[in-house]
Amino acid sequence: MAMSMGGGGGSIADINVTPMIDILLVLLIIFMVIVPVTPKGLDALVPQPPKTKQPDENKIDRTIVVQIFYHGNAAPTYKINETDYAKAELLPRLTDIYANRAERIMFVKGEDKIDFRYVAEVIDIGRSAGVDHIGLMTPRILAGQ
């Protein structure tokens, strides 16, 4: 008595998902390694303290600081290093300063009570004058305050 188990040798239509999961994990690791992690944010330049005790005369001439002073409801006043200028005179003066410079760096310093739009206007004037890097100067915060 012979008994036959199973049917005729037809193919099975089930998908084996184990190799697919392995491939998926390998691809995931490859993409995690390939994708560079780039920091997002604003590049900020901070003036560095001098390395020597005596200031270098050439270094002093290279540093340009535009200061904005608050006068209540009146229009603010502007200084380039230690010389007073009107707002309309800033662009021509900065253009003259940076005409022959290879290093085009400028710092903007505004008082605490000044509206930021005045600082933004000075940054726009600096960009129009051809300044490549513009840094913002803030007051020094002492420890324990």
- The model's pLDDT over 55-80, given as tens digits with 9 standing for 90+, comes to 444 444 568 899 999 888 888 999 99
Cβ atoms 95, 87 nearer than 8 A? no
User: How far apart (Å, rounded) are the C-alpha atoms in residues 86 and 92?
Assistant: 11
Q: Would you give the distance in Å from CA 55 to the centre of its chain?
A: 29
Bigger pLDDT: 61 or 135? 135
In 3D, which of 143, 140, 136, 75 has the Cα closest to residue 110?
136
Amino acid at 69: F
Bridge partners of 110, per DSSP, are 68
Bigger pLDDT: 64 or 6? 64
Bigger pLDDT: 143 or 29? 29
Q: What is the mean pLDDT of residues 74-102?
A: 89
**116: confidence class by pLDDT, cuts 50, 70, 90:** confident
Q: What is the pLDDT of residue 138?
A: 79
What are the domain boundaries of the chain? 57-137
Average pLDDT, the chain: 80
Q: What is the pLDDT of residue 142?
A: 56
**Does 26 score more than 90 pLDDT?**
yes
Q: Would you give the distance in Å from CA 81 to the centre of its chain?
A: 24
Q: What are the tokens at 124?
A: 């726009």
Bigger pLDDT: 48 or 68? 68
**Does 41 score more than 80 pLDDT?**
no
Strands (E), 5-132: 65-69, 77-80, 83-85, 105-110
Is CATH 3.40.50.2300 the classification given to domain 57-137?
Answer: no
129 DSSP 8-state letter: T
